[in-house]
Amino acid sequence: MLDTIVTYLDSVKSRDPAARSRLEIALLYPGVRALVFYRLGNALWRAGFHFLARLASELGKLISGIEIHPGATIGRRFFIDHGMGVVIGETAVIHDNVTLYHGVTLGGIGTGTSAVGRRHPELEDGVVIGAGAQVLGPITVRRGARVGANAVVLKEVPPGVTVVGIPAQEVEANESARLESFAPYGAPTNDVPDPTAKALCALTAELQTLRRRIDGLEAVGRTAPAEDVRRSIAVNCGPEG
């Protein structure tokens, strides 16, 4: 038991450069306090004492600002950094070495008959979810994936990739980012391209190309006979319909 606790505290220290000692982590980190109450509540939940389990969950929320449903499944070395405003739903499944930051929601989708079965996300080993991100529905964030701050994830995230934006889209990180073992806040570098901005740039370039073609056709129309204009239109834009 002691070895397990020490291993956990060391895993937290490796992910938070502000941590100075195991004692500081054990006594002063809200994510650790929330996890202690979750473990108690989860044991009660699995034993069938659902009211007492929810009571333990509420006490944990009061002292940590983190809401973890006692029915959630959480693996080893789970770390919530800062923690305020984190919400983890009843059917969420979290594997080993997962890191969440403040404001993250692992939320469920579905009410009534659609609420049967798993409603919340599954996070595989080594996933990092940045501050304010919302991961919603019975989707899976695969092993080693990273979700950037304030992203909204509504579909499965492939292993080892970084997603950002609303809705979340995969971005192409540089080689050093892919080799990095841990990415604080789910952002492996400060130069990760924004996929939305990239799409807008491509659209702007296409508009500029079309504008040049239109200017060229207008110039031909001012100087060439009508037959030449028609021939130019056919070459540049295809036959008239």
Q: How would you write 13-59 as a 3-class SS string?
A: HHHCCCCCCHHHHHHHCHHHHHHHHHHHHHHHHHCCCHHHHHHHHHH
* Distance (Å, whole) CA 67 – CA 12: 19
Give the burial class of 109: count Cβ atoms within 10 A of its Cβ; 0-12 exposed, 13-18 middle, 19 or more buried: middle
pLDDT of residue 231: 62
Q: Does CATH place domain 2-191 in 2.160.10.10?
A: yes
Q: Name the residue ranges covered by the structural domains of the chain.
A: 2-191, 197-237
Rounded distance, CA 134 to CA 109, Å?
12
Output the pLDDT for position 176.
46
Residues in the chain: 241
Q: Quote the pLDDT of residue 189.
A: 57
Give the type of residue at 233: I
Report the C-alpha gap between 68 and 123 in whole angstroms. Answer: 15
Cα–Cα distance for residue pair 71/44, rounded to 1 Å: 9
pTM over 0.75: no
Q: Output the tens digit of pLDDT for each of the chain's 241 residues.
A: 888 899 999 999 999 989 999 999 999 999 999 999 999 999 999 999 999 999 999 999 999 999 999 999 999 999 999 989 999 999 999 999 999 999 999 999 876 545 568 899 999 999 999 999 999 999 999 999 999 999 999 999 999 999 999 899 988 655 444 545 667 766 665 555 666 666 666 777 778 888 888 877 777 666 656 666 566 655 555 555 4
Tokens of 116: 């049967």
Q: What's the CA gap between 214 and 56, in Å, rounded? A: 69
